[in-house]
Chain A
Amino acid sequence: MFNSKTPIQRTRRISMAVAAGALLSTTALAGCSVANSEDAAGGSAAPGAAVSDTLRVVLQQEPPTLEACESNLTSTGVVVRSTITEPLIERNPTTGELEPKLATEWSSDDDTTWTLKLREGVKFHDGSDFTAEDAAVTIERAVNSDLGCNVEGYVFGDDDLKVTAVDDSTLEVTAVKADPILPLRLSFLEVVPSETSATEKVREPIGTGPYKLDKWDAGQSINASAFADYWGEAPAFAKANYQWRSEGSVRAAMITSGEADIATGLSPEDNIGDRGVSYPNNETVALRMHADKAPFTDIKVRQAVNYAIDKESIVASLYGGRDKAAAQLVPEGVVGHSDSLPVWPYDPEKAKSLVEEAKAAGVDTSAQISLIVRTAQFPKIEELGQVIQEQLSQAGLNVKLKMLETSQHLTYQVRPFPTDDEGAIMLMTQHGNQAGDAAFTVDQYMTTKGAQSAFGTAELDKLIEEADASSEADRQAAFEKVFQYQNDNVVQFAHIAHQTGMLGIAQSVNYEPNSSSGDELRLAEVTAAK
């Protein structure tokens, strides 16, 4: 009867076709760059296909920047340090010794002015020669400029350095006051060419390292290739490819499936199996007690906290025995760590009696203690908080567990501390000393006015000042004394454990992780498995 379509029907069909077409077009065109991305080897990656000349690394997160003066940030340094760029001096993470890199030797008569002889025959990735001028600009840029480099705050503070390029291969660096560990501080500076902007940060640096940056596909991957004119030994892999996945189980799966050769930041819960290799990562977990409110006003209660926590059981049950019960804030390998300092023994009866003694002396031991813990700061931290809460409760203390996200937790971590919290504060802190010298720990954690210190004593401040000024063998003994004094007379901290990190390492490569692997993964140290 009516074979032709009505206008409304036609309109409807056209509109639906247009809508479907639009949706499909959006899908096809919205981001072709994502759909057609290529792998490190330049082709479409087949699952599990190993690319023999490419070292594939999967990180926890995309580096925010590769700016050399931000390389003390873990997410930046893990790519940049000693791979793309290099420092003048490098700290051996295993021995703790300073070793030559772009500087071959260094010396000082007064610990204030340091003279560095620089390596000759070194080229930057842009083909220019490395000279003392480049080293001078690097220091000026990172320490003395208004760039706001992270490394300045982390290592150097407000004081500037005077830098002079004596000749092409000699550099003179003068500190404001005697600084026996200035060479160690300089090891944090990655050298860039003198042409590098002094007014803006540079996301993709030019360095002298064994690998040069090829391409950074923001959001997806970073590709690098071996630098043909590298002054040192050529790396084993011609290319390197970095990707990032925030889920640990996915990073582990990439190792298992053959999609990556090295995965950082894993834990045994990620099902990495035999491919997971643990290593001491220089991180220490401790509780910091604020002595401004009861019951922590009495040292007996702070001692009771140390006796009440069963550190050995925590390490064994929560961390598979990989971590090590701690007696101080720095682990083995850091200058100042004392091997002879005993771990507080687990003695619940002693803890109870100390709390009773404090109560008898008039301290309100029933006052609430807020145990401040950062959510997901490290594996099983929630369980650790609960165990500590329970063990302290058994000692007769009233502990309330407060799980906070990072920025809230930071308000408790750094001065000025919140004052409106209920009861006394006990902060669970994870401290990493990647510098290798206890000065980087005690200055901020133990001095009376330290940024991360709740309190201190004049005697301890004096000991720290002496230790900071001492050098070489005296330095080790001086810091050992500081840690001993903390445990005997101050007891601001209850140390829990020196932690371990875990890398996933595929069968296709050989790599032995060290305490710095999480912060600077030196790709030149990775070789192909035979």
Chain B
Amino acid sequence: MLTYLRKRIISSAVPLLVVIVGVFALARMTGNPAALYLPLNATEAMREDFAIRNGLDQPIWVQMAQYFGGVLRFDFGSSMRTGESAADMALRAFPATLQLAGTTMVIAIVLAVIVGSAAALKPNGILDRFCSFLSMTAASIPDFWLAIVGIWVFAITLGWVPTSGVMGMAAWVLPVATLVMRPFGTLVQVVRGAMVSSLSEPYIKLARSKGATEYRVVGAHALRNAAAPGLTVAGDLTVGLVNGAVVVETIFGWPGIGKLMIDSILQRDFAVLQACVLLTAVAIFILNILIDVGYALLDPRVRPSAGAHKRRKARSEFRGQSNGPSTPSAPTANNPAAAVLDA
């Protein structure tokens, strides 16, 4: 596993470098920030002063070298807009986004597993059809519309929750509820599909014939085998949220990194933009590794070769304890029967 992680880190270094260079170059192609920061009637001398103060008078390669040197020291420079350290601004905003994304995904995954599993029990039944309708609706609703309607219904008309902001736990309800919809809708469909497939496998029939409870059949056997595609999709959805739930952050005044990134793009605040993009890229890189690791743990077929030794060892221990069949015991599609051995 360590070899696998090492390889993943090395292979991710190149895209990370591309991101660092790309954001530096693209940001500077969007125009001179002096026009945005100085009064319209600023004189030429003032524009020159501004360029010197912000290092924009230097050749582009010098600016890039300074930027790279700063990145290595985790110094992204100061915000042109606020005068604060860009790294501080990005680090201050990022936890707010992580909180929102984490809460959203926990709720979405739990709900999707429950609803998707229930729907899969009787494919094409009334509950299944209702769940399909529910999930497709949830996945299709535009979040800005949902957010505004949510404010009018639950904050203004009913007065149950605040319209926006971060003050108190009640303020979390509308942003999280708005954000949950899309991942929930998508995941329900994925979980339902995988569960329908799992529940029709022979090892499920075997489990039932052995007298396993329905809860155990669904929760311990079918769900475990159906988890891999769900994890993949959940990972992608989490990456999207970590990248900044811009619409929700904007509407609800949530001080997250998505809103900060958009503001820094619009304001040509290069230092903050670079800090935000790099921080997000690193977070997504780490998240992707976690997803890969989780996927490998769930499905031995995708486990890296470095894990083969441990897997062989595990199999050997398993055979030693059981004196049972010499087939691999991992409850996968390759050998689903193994899944019911502990039923």
B54 to chain A, nearest CB (A): 9
The verdict on A250 contacting B329 (CB below 8 Å), with A31-B98, A153-B42, A219-B93 known, is no
B200 within 8 A of A: no
B197 within 8 A of A: no
Which range holds the interface residue count of chain A? 35 or more
B161 within 8 A of A: yes
Name the residue of chain A whose CB is nearest to the CB of B338.
A6
Per-residue CB contact flags for chain A residues 231-258 toward chain B (1 = under 8 Å, else 0) read 0000000000001111101100110110
B169 within 8 A of A: yes
B297 within 8 A of A: yes
B102 within 8 A of A: yes
Out of A20, A27, A158, A452, which one reaches B46, CB within 8 Å?
A158
User: Inside 8 A of B300's CB, which chain A residues have their CB?
Assistant: 8
Contact B96 A34 (CB under 8 A): yes
Which segment, of B57-65, B125-133, B318-326, faces chain A?
Answer: B318-326
The verdict on A219 contacting B102 (CB below 8 Å), with A8-B314, A254-B163, A452-B41 known, is no
Contact A31 B96 (CB under 8 A): yes
Per-residue CB contact flags for chain B residues 76-103 toward chain A (1 = under 8 Å, else 0) read 0001011110000100111110110011
A4 within 8 A of B: yes
B36 within 8 A of A: yes
Per-residue CB contact flags for chain B residues 41-61 toward chain A (1 = under 8 Å, else 0) read 111011001100100000000
A438 to chain B, nearest CB (A): 14
A444 within 8 A of B: yes
Contact B35 A411 (CB under 8 A): yes
Out of A154, A203, A413, which one reaches B83, CB within 8 Å?
A203
A179 to chain B, nearest CB (A): 16
The CA-CA distance from A31 to B101 in the complex, in Å, is: 12
Name the residue of chain A whose CB is nearest to the CB of B47.
A153
B32 to chain A, nearest CB (A): 8
The CA-CA distance from A373 to B305 in the complex, in Å, is: 59
Out of B156, B224, B290, which one reaches A256, CB within 8 Å?
B156
User: Inside 8 A of A473's CB, which chain B residues have their CB?
Assistant: none
Which segment, of A44-52, A275-283, A419-427, faces chain B?
Answer: A44-52
Contact A247 B251 (CB under 8 A): yes
Residue from A24, A33, A47, A245 whose CB has the most chain B CB atoms within 10 Å: A47
Contact B36 A406 (CB under 8 A): yes
Which range holds the interface residue count of chain B? 35 or more
Contact B168 A2 (CB under 8 A): no
B162 within 8 A of A: yes
B235 to chain A, nearest CB (A): 11
User: Inside 8 A of A44's CB, which chain B residues have their CB?
Assistant: 167-170
User: Inside 8 A of A37's CB, which chain B residues have their CB?
Assistant: 166-168
The CA-CA distance from A246 to B38 in the complex, in Å, is: 22
User: Inside 8 A of B45's CB, which chain A residues have their CB?
Assistant: 158
The CA-CA distance from A46 to B159 in the complex, in Å, is: 9
User: Inside 8 A of A152's CB, which chain B residues have their CB?
Assistant: 46
The CA-CA distance from A166 to B329 in the complex, in Å, is: 93
A334 to chain B, nearest CB (A): 16
B172 within 8 A of A: yes
B71 within 8 A of A: no
The CA-CA distance from A451 to B35 in the complex, in Å, is: 12
B330 within 8 A of A: yes
The CA-CA distance from A451 to B82 in the complex, in Å, is: 26
Residue from B50, B81, B171 whose CB has the most chain A CB atoms within 10 Å: B171
Name the residue of chain A whose CB is nearest to the CB of B252.
A250
Which segment, of B147-155, B188-196, B273-281, faces chain A?
Answer: B147-155
The verdict on A249 contacting B321 (CB below 8 Å), with A8-B311, A158-B43, A408-B31 known, is no
Out of A2, A23, A246, which one reaches B250, CB within 8 Å?
A246
Contact B106 A410 (CB under 8 A): no
Contact A452 B40 (CB under 8 A): yes
Please report A residues at the B interface, Cβ cutoff 8 Å. Answer: 1-9, 11-12, 15-16, 19-20, 22-24, 26-27, 30-31, 33-35, 37-39, 44-48, 64-65, 67, 72, 146, 148, 150, 152-154, 157-158, 201, 203, 218-220, 243-247, 249-250, 253-254, 256-257, 259, 405-408, 410-411, 413-414, 443-444, 451-452
Please report B residues at the A interface, Cβ cutoff 8 Å. Answer: 30-31, 33, 35-43, 45-46, 49-50, 53, 79, 81-84, 89, 92-96, 98-99, 102-103, 105-106, 148, 151-152, 155-156, 159-172, 224, 227, 250-255, 259, 266, 268, 290, 293-294, 297-298, 300, 311, 314, 317-318, 321-322, 324, 329-331, 341-342
Q: Can you add 4 more A-B contacts, CB < 8 Å, to A35-B166, A218-B255? A: A2-B322, A26-B98, A35-B169, A44-B168
Q: Which 3 A-B pairs have the closest CB atoms?
A: A219-B255, A31-B95, A27-B102
